[in-house]
Structure 1
């Protein structure tokens, strides 16, 4: 995947988030409100003018008719115009103006109400945003009082926040739509309605239609995003064990649940990856694609042969404690919905054409939910400490503490073994659990204290560090604890899971088959993708020429203008006022000639540049006549294409790459040795729009990287 170049140190000067929040939530409605107030004043003035003219014009018609009858040769200026008309013609024009005023007055009066919609929409958006921010902040503070307060306040925010964000989006949409309609209908009252003004009217109507479309899309997206939220299932690769498959394990789980006054899980899943966890969210299993509902306990197989009975009881007791008391409601009603609303707000900012109108609502939503982060962190810590306390009640605090450290020190061994097997599934052992245990040093784990700041993995929740959890258990961080956590693996440890699962060896082999099959499928899909990416560029050279034709035509037109000016100077010097000034004629003639020469020379240079390829792209390198050497694609770390007055390609090279040099001092190319950037500028790429040009460069870079990966896979690197 090719990503844009990262910004440099200037990015550190970006405005803080609170400034953007105020700008979107307060600034945008305030600007729309100011526009609405100005439109109210203009609309009332226009309506008053038409009403006054409707009263005055009939009198003017009568007066002009009388003047025409008494003095047929009298001339008058109609309504302050510069042209004088005869009295009879002026009377006819006054009659025509009266007809226009009579026709347009209802529209002018109706138009005075449109800006109030702009004001109302802006005020609605402003109030909805401020109420959402204030209410979210107050709810977040209240949530810190207790876990019940967190559930109650979050439930209220979950119900009210979508309504407030919807009102904010509707208000902004209404304000933008009304403002566009007011300005569009204003062109109707133009006295001389030219073709250009007709285009302006059409453009304003198109803007109004786009605003209406954006408003509908924004509200529709909001409705879909904040519909009754159904949490996404948690994807888990593992096998479900019923009581026939693991009678000892189920017996232990039921015993621990009874001692901890917790609910028994509905399903026990054993897999290879991840850590211990429980959930009441739906669990989507692979490879059998079954979805589990209810309470699920997940156990990672590699850890079962490392923990002794008391340590495993402490770990499972900790997990089952989340099914006890208030924690059950918290797990079911808060955790998945809280994570889901964050995903919903992310989707809210990507609803398509309504993005600009939903962005303020997304800012408000993130800020409102962000006020709960402190409360969520506080009560998550509290529930983990409480679960640790309950787990220690069934086995003692020291085994619970050593289990935390032992799981931490085993994590790197599990990760390295599984990562190696995933990368080379054909060379992996048939039993990956045994492979993990075999990889444990015979002398035990080194330096368990180095893992005190680790945090246990969980798919939907966060944990305090092991140091904090052990301190909360009241266990000192002494040599005895570290020795227990780092103890060597014994035969009894490896045999312990056999007492829990009827066919432990068979289960480990099945889990390994599932894992390695997934790895092979991934490698096959990855290879197909890499081969397609590598084949996406031709073997022969791709030539990119500079698109100088628009500039050549521009210079040609400019040369004709200079030539025309020179010809006019020669043919009509008297009309230009320089007939008797020879020096002025010489200066102006020289300027015209210089203009023709300059435009012609520059057009010729651009045309000549366009005959030589600006870039030559091959599967291996990028060449340019502006650079003294080619740039290998394998040396390109990133790239960026920008366009404005010029099209600029910027290549960021790797630290060990050789930088080329520009061939000329004043060149379209530039090389920054400090930033290791190579830039090539042009007037454009012939036959390619900027996006297509960027896509072309991206394909060549992606193809090069794909070939590198394929070569490494082929050679076994």
Structure 2
């Protein structure tokens, strides 16, 4: 567990619990019944006790959640069925644990706060300062109450995150009349490998081959339940019948044994849980300290649960894929399955390029598969060798690298295999699947139009959203910032005070009778030294204020301290830390971005290039001013401004890519 997760799950509940014990200790330490009002102390004791019980329950939930997670992870290694059982048990219990953690942690803070209010009212004479303190405590209590109410209101969301959602698919559910040959071929293939016949066959163009037992929602409104096989004509058009049989056999292999329960039921649920937990965290969390204390422990419990299952899930995922690969080889041959894996990976880029044109609204051909065929027909070979370390894509799961899957089948990656996988597209392969459909050309054109309509609408919507974001910053808008002189005056004034003290002590040394004492000399020397140090520091700060710290434009950050501009599209993220009156702003750069070079020395610069962490850190000491109007800008305003410019720059970059 990372330190941050441990802090929120355990340290915060422990500190809250210790505070409860401290409250009870304060009430009993050295007091006799005559020292206090019995009713007032009874009330405080009751409130502190309830708060302590709540914090102990919060701490117990943290420990129980960690123990349950560790136990479940260990036991789940025994079998896939055990993993499914343990996951189902945890997914039912953990929402209660998360909500219990929020409620008990919040209640403990509320009762402790009420106990402190009772103490302040009874122990001090109420004046303006006391009322202000009570008001602050009351605001904190109201904040915690609001967090609890918000959590209870969102209880349905918390439980809904553990429920599977239908997969949205762009495709056509083919019936026996539309694809009698395909249905018959799939039945014979399933009988050969002793697999379950799918309930639905969805023919599409966007994804690769896969199966799912999760409910499927087609874009035309049809809702499918049961086992569904997704059959992509864009890939099948360029593969031999043996290769298609091997891949479909692999997918049907997931319908054998425990895979129907695990791979097809558990995997979509697990993926949905991950996405839903992230969304719940985004909606539930705020930026206040109350959110951090009350909500974060519960969210880290849910996150810890998922993270600990990842390794076990991946362990069984590798086993399942290799087992399904063996079934696919049985449906055809090891050689055909290995060739199919390499060929699918090699074809994916060309197919993706044409699909990208659909997003752009630039695709006008009637048949997507025919367009890909025309684009590939002029090539002598397809580069299959370069795909050995790639993985085939799957909307619900991940696959091991192709080289490992081929090696597990005891197939040598020799010239014969690479020649087979890299063969040029042919009319024979292209029309090979025609016999399985009543109207193959009409079906492909229908699928192309449906895909064009859906992706075109998605692309247009995305384009409108990006254009709106890109326009939040005007192209000619430029802002220049410089450091304020607040710290200069502070340092200079402090240096002057120290200098006066040093001068005064020195005058005492020379004006006093007899020889000066060693202590007086040391005080004068040290005070003069510190005066000189702060004077030099103030001069250095003053020099920094004479020139702009940086200039922010719609595409870059420019500073005289760096040898070249920092392009906004090269910044992946920004983070900010405020320590006392100093702000440390980190610009997290892309791994492939070339970092600028700092032109100033370590002690003279306000912008540091941290090469090892691939980031640029701005150190803003004191105040920051907008040049021209000398308007002060807060650190939060600066962060929001940079975030706005960053979003606009990235939106423009994506728009350029979409239109290219």
Question: CA 1:251/1:708 → structure 2, altered by over 3 Å: closer, same or farther?
Answer: closer
Map 1:313-462; keep pairs closer than 5 Å.
313-350=245-282, 351-352=284-285, 354-419=291-356, 421-422=357-358, 425-426=361-362, 429-438=365-374, 439=376, 442-448=379-385, 450-462=386-398
- Taking the aligned partners of 1:371 and 1:647, their CA distance within structure 2 comes to 36
Deviation at 1:39, TM superposition (A): 0.9
- Taking the aligned partners of 1:228 and 1:620, their CA distance within structure 2 comes to 39
Show the counterpart of 1:295: 227
| CA contact 1:141–1:371 (8 Å) conserved in 2 | no
Show the counterpart of 1:39: 23
- Taking the aligned partners of 2:39 and 2:79, their CA distance within structure 1 comes to 61
Corresponding residue to 1:278 among 203, 208, 211: 211
- Taking the aligned partners of 1:332 and 1:636, their CA distance within structure 2 comes to 39
Question: CA 1:446/1:294 → structure 2, altered by over 3 Å: closer, same or farther?
Answer: same
- Taking the aligned partners of 1:533 and 1:335, their CA distance within structure 2 comes to 35
Show the counterpart of 2:400: 464
> Any idea what the Cα deviations from partners look like across 1:595-641, whole Å, max 9, x if unmatched?
xxx9xxx9xx99xx89x9988766678789x8899969779757777
- Taking the aligned partners of 1:203 and 1:485, their CA distance within structure 2 comes to 71
- Taking the aligned partners of 1:712 and 1:476, their CA distance within structure 2 comes to 40
Corresponding residue to 2:141 among 186, 191, 208: 208
Show the counterpart of 1:269: 202
Corresponding residue to 1:482 among 404, 418, 431: 418
SS, match of residue 217 in structure 2: strand
Deviation at 1:496, TM superposition (A): 0.5
| CA contact 1:218–1:355 (8 Å) conserved in 2 | no
Question: CA 1:336/1:533 → structure 2, altered by over 3 Å: closer, same or farther?
Answer: closer
- Taking the aligned partners of 1:316 and 1:163, their CA distance within structure 2 comes to 41
SS, match of residue 335 in structure 1: helix
| CA contact 1:444–1:487 (8 Å) conserved in 2 | yes
Deviation at 1:479, TM superposition (A): 3.7
Question: CA 1:526/1:470 → structure 2, altered by over 3 Å: closer, same or farther?
Answer: closer
Show the counterpart of 2:34: 52
Question: CA 1:673/1:462 → structure 2, altered by over 3 Å: closer, same or farther?
Answer: closer
Deviation at 1:311, TM superposition (A): 2.0
> Any idea what the Cα deviations from partners look like across 1:81-103, whole Å, max 9, x if unmatched?
xxxxxxxxxxxxxxxxxxxx6xx
Deviation at 1:223, TM superposition (A): 5.2
Show the counterpart of 2:74: 141
Show the counterpart of 1:165: 98
Deviation at 1:352, TM superposition (A): 3.1
Structure 2: gaps of 5 or more residues: 498-511, 513-533, 626-630
Deviation at 1:147, TM superposition (A): 2.1
> Number of matched residues?
616
Say whether residues 1:500 and 2:436 are aligned partners.
yes
Deviation at 1:305, TM superposition (A): 1.7
Question: CA 1:440/1:144 → structure 2, altered by over 3 Å: closer, same or farther?
Answer: farther
- Taking the aligned partners of 1:650 and 1:228, their CA distance within structure 2 comes to 33
- Taking the aligned partners of 1:312 and 1:413, their CA distance within structure 2 comes to 19
- Taking the aligned partners of 2:295 and 2:165, their CA distance within structure 1 comes to 24
Deviation at 1:187, TM superposition (A): 0.2
Q: 530-539 or 300-309: which moved more?
A: 530-539
Deviation at 1:312, TM superposition (A): 1.3
Map 1:597-608; keep pairs closer than 5 Å.
none
Question: CA 1:430/1:184 → structure 2, altered by over 3 Å: closer, same or farther?
Answer: same
- Taking the aligned partners of 1:122 and 1:201, their CA distance within structure 2 comes to 23
Deviation at 1:300, TM superposition (A): 1.7
| CA contact 2:478–2:554 (8 Å) conserved in 1 | no
Output the TM-score relative to the length of structure 2.
Answer: 0.77
Deviation at 1:134, TM superposition (A): 1.6
Structure 1: gaps of 5 or more residues: 1-16, 54-100, 563-580, 582-597
Q: 245-254 or 397-406: which moved more?
A: 397-406
CA RMSD for the aligned pairs? 4.7
Deviation at 1:254, TM superposition (A): 2.4
- Taking the aligned partners of 2:81 and 2:563, their CA distance within structure 1 comes to 68
Question: CA 1:541/1:407 → structure 2, altered by over 3 Å: closer, same or farther?
Answer: closer
Deviation at 1:276, TM superposition (A): 0.6
Question: CA 1:144/1:444 → structure 2, altered by over 3 Å: closer, same or farther?
Answer: same
Question: CA 1:223/1:495 → structure 2, altered by over 3 Å: closer, same or farther?
Answer: closer
Deviation at 1:304, TM superposition (A): 0.9
| CA contact 2:569–2:653 (8 Å) conserved in 1 | no
Question: CA 1:37/1:322 → structure 2, altered by over 3 Å: closer, same or farther?
Answer: same
Say whether residues 1:28 and 2:12 are aligned partners.
yes
- Taking the aligned partners of 1:468 and 1:636, their CA distance within structure 2 comes to 35
Question: CA 1:295/1:705 → structure 2, altered by over 3 Å: closer, same or farther?
Answer: closer
Question: CA 1:415/1:20 → structure 2, altered by over 3 Å: closer, same or farther?
Answer: same
- Taking the aligned partners of 1:273 and 1:299, their CA distance within structure 2 comes to 10
Deviation at 1:43, TM superposition (A): 2.4
| CA contact 1:619–1:700 (8 Å) conserved in 2 | yes
Corresponding residue to 1:245 among 157, 178, 196: 178
- Taking the aligned partners of 1:648 and 1:19, their CA distance within structure 2 comes to 22
Question: CA 1:647/1:477 → structure 2, altered by over 3 Å: closer, same or farther?
Answer: closer
Question: CA 1:176/1:237 → structure 2, altered by over 3 Å: closer, same or farther?
Answer: same
- Taking the aligned partners of 1:472 and 1:193, their CA distance within structure 2 comes to 79
Question: CA 1:233/1:707 → structure 2, altered by over 3 Å: closer, same or farther?
Answer: closer
Map 1:60-75; keep pairs closer than 5 Å.
none
Deviation at 1:437, TM superposition (A): 2.6
Question: CA 1:650/1:301 → structure 2, altered by over 3 Å: closer, same or farther?
Answer: same
> Any idea what the Cα deviations from partners look like across 1:242-277, whole Å, max 9, x if unmatched?
222222112212222333443332322222222110
> Any idea what the Cα deviations from partners look like across 1:275-314, whole Å, max 9, x if unmatched?
110111122333x344433222111222112222222122
Show the counterpart of 1:182: 115
Show the counterpart of 1:691: 636
| CA contact 1:543–1:617 (8 Å) conserved in 2 | yes
Question: CA 1:467/1:670 → structure 2, altered by over 3 Å: closer, same or farther?
Answer: closer
> Any idea what the Cα deviations from partners look like across 1:490-519, whole Å, max 9, x if unmatched?
322111121122222233333333444455
Question: CA 1:129/1:688 → structure 2, altered by over 3 Å: closer, same or farther?
Answer: same
- Taking the aligned partners of 1:526 and 1:309, their CA distance within structure 2 comes to 38
Question: CA 1:238/1:125 → structure 2, altered by over 3 Å: closer, same or farther?
Answer: same
SS, match of residue 90 in structure 2: helix
| CA contact 1:234–1:459 (8 Å) conserved in 2 | no
- Taking the aligned partners of 1:467 and 1:613, their CA distance within structure 2 comes to 55
- Taking the aligned partners of 2:365 and 2:317, their CA distance within structure 1 comes to 39
Deviation at 1:336, TM superposition (A): 2.1
